[in-house]
């Protein structure tokens, strides 16, 4: 059996919290050979749902300026998906059959940030606001392998672009008294992961693709 997997960390636009209220997964042009999973004969695959059971037959692939996996609204709503959660698409090929599977890795212990030139946008803001005092959240945790003072502080409300319909709240992330905004590229994702014995601020690998044989 040959198994091919594509894993994506979801953002707010993909889960319907953007202005378009669409529900999909955007596949970056940097993902190599995504058509090995979704070839032209499998653009409307039926997925075995590993998260809840049953079949999902609403998914359809669009190829053009962007490669999108569409039709995920019910799946997102049924699982209360948030930014930073990971979605898995898997294809299993045998001599006689091709089957598709879908799953989720729910990450309820993370706060997700996306870099903008104006600061960091918080993609699951409710998780941050309940920790804040006087518009900031101060803690100790690991960043770049060192245990350091970390401060997340409200910066400003501004439009992402001049034509943006709504204002966005932006935050500074300060580690050991240094603003780390310029250490990252535009649209990079960071997560603050809080485990019982360790807190870590780190950059996220937004997508992963694997192929292996069983």
Residues 190-208 pLDDT 10s: 999 999 999 999 999 999 9
Q: CA–CA separation, 194 vs 201, rounded Å?
A: 9
pLDDT bin (cut points 50, 70, 90) of residue 29 is very high
pLDDT bin (cut points 50, 70, 90) of residue 214 is confident
Q: CA–CA separation, 184 vs 169, rounded Å?
A: 18
Question: Between these two residues, 75 and 165, which has the higher pLDDT value?
Answer: 75
pLDDT in tens, 4-19: 999 999 999 999 987 6
Q: Look up the pTM and report it.
A: 0.91
The answer for 21, left when phi > 0, alpha when psi is -120 to 50, beta otherwise, is left
pLDDT bin (cut points 50, 70, 90) of residue 21 is confident
- The per-residue pLDDT for 17 is 85
Could you tell me which of 200, 196, 68 has the C-alpha nearest to residue 139?
200
Is residue 114 predicted with pLDDT exceeding 90? Answer: yes
Q: CA–CA separation, 136 vs 173, rounded Å?
A: 10
Cα of 211 vs its chain's centroid, Å: 21
Write out the two tokens for 185.
């590229």
CB within 8 Å of 126: residues ≥ 6 apart: none
Taking all residues of the chain, what is their mean pLDDT, rounded to a whole number? 94
- The per-residue pLDDT for 159 is 87
CB within 8 Å of 101: residues ≥ 6 apart: 47, 48, 49, 50, 88, 89, 90, 91, 92
pLDDT bin (cut points 50, 70, 90) of residue 24 is very high
What are the angstrom distances between the C-alpha of 137 and each of 63, 113, 187, 194?
42, 14, 22, 13
The mean-pLDDT minimum among 105-109, 117-121, 157-161 falls in 157-161
- The per-residue pLDDT for 160 is 83
């Amino acid at each position: 059996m040959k198994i091919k997997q594509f894993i994506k960390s979801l953002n707010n636009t993909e889960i319907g919290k953007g202005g378009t209220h669409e529900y999909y997964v955007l596949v970056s042009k940097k993902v190599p050979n995504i058509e090995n999973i979704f070839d032209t004969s499998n653009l409307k695959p039926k997925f075995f749902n590993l998260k809840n059971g049953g079949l999902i037959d609403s998914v359809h692939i669009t190829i053009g300026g962007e490669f999108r996996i569409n039709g995920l609204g019910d799946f997102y709503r049924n699982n209360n998906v948030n930014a930073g959660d990971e979605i898995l698409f898997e294809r299993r090929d045998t001599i006689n059959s091709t089957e598709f599977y879908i799953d989720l890795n729910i990450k309820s212990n993370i706060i997700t940030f996306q870099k903008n030139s104006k600061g960091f946008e918080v993609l699951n803001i409710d998780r941050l606001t309940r920790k804040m005092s006087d518009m900031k959240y101060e803690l100790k945790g690991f960043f770049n392998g060192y245990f350091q003072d970390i401060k997340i502080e409200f910066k400003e409300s501004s439009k992402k672009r001049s034509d943006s319909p709504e204002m966005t709240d932006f935050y500074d992330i300060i580690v050991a008294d240094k603003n780390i905004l310029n250490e990252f590229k535009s649209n990079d994702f960071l997560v603050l992961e809080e485990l019982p014995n360790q807190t870590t601020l780190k950059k996220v690998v937004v997508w992963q693709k694997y192929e292996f044989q069983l």
